[in-house]
Structures are given as structure tokens and as C-alpha cells.
Amino acid sequence: MSSAVVEYYRPQVSVTAAVGRQRLRVVGEEERAPARARADLHLTRRGRLALTGTVALVLVLALLSLVGALGPAGASSAVVVQPGMTLSHIAVTHLPDVPLSQAVSDIQRANRLSTTSIAVGQELLIPGR
């Protein structure tokens, strides 16, 4: 059988250390520190970050809308698809100075086409350069 001995530790408080502490007391008018002007608005760090982010987002969106309003550099034209025409044929005919794959891609993007298939009578927008 075993036994254990537990001794309780009680820190010793020095009487001299307690004597040296200052006590709370009432301060008179002449001893008061000058009052600071009360700020009407106090933003925390999180608030400043949120405000800065919001302003930055508004500026970026305004810049993007301005760039979008300017549009493409050249004037666009429209073509009505005739029987036998393909997207490649239209690209070669109307954008001869652009590589074929790039011209087809530009026409698809301008008309929001997901494939290269087009229908007779469909009006296609040819982006300007």
C-alpha cells in the first residue's frame, strides 16, 4: 500500500510591499487632467478596412464601367448569314488581316456563340479592328 502527502502552498505576502502601494483617492478640480475633445466618430481597425475596401471597390467598378463604355476601338458591322456560309468563311472575308482562329474566336465572342454553328438568316456582328 502506498500513501501520498499533499502540502498546500500559501504564498507569503510581504507587509512592506502592501504599504508601498498607492490607494484610490478623490481628485480635486485642480488635479484633474484636461479633458480630451470627444470624437464624434470612432472607427475601429475593422471599420477602417471595410470603409477602405468599399471605396476601392466603387472606384474599380467605376473604372471598369468607363472602360466598358468606350467599347472596341474600331467600328463594328453586321452580316446576314447566307446559304453555304460558315463562320470561317465570314472570318476570312470580313477580317482578312487577322489569323483565322483568332477571327473566328472574335466573331464568336462578339455574338456570344458557344459553338461554330450558325443558321441561314442569322445576323452576326463583326467586331471592328
The number of CA neighbours under 13 Å toward the Cβ of 82 is 3
For residue 72, pLDDT over 60 is answered with no
Reported confidence tier of residue 10, pLDDT bands at 50, 70, 90: confident
Burial (CB count <10 Å: 0-12, 13-18, 19+), residue 108: middle
Query: Which carries the bigger pLDDT value, residue 18 or residue 117?
Result: 117
Across residues 39-59, what is the average pLDDT?
91
- Which class is 77-126 in CATH? alpha beta
Strands (E) in 70-119, as ranges, are 77-80
Sign of the C-alpha dihedral computed for residues 15, 16, 17 and 21 taken in this order: positive
For residue 60, pLDDT over 90 is answered with yes
- Rounded to the nearest 5 percent, the helix, strand and coil shares of the chain are 40, 5, 50
Q: State pTM to two decimals.
A: 0.43
- Map out the domains of the chain as residue ranges: 45-72, 77-126
- Residue 17 cell numbers, joined: 510591499
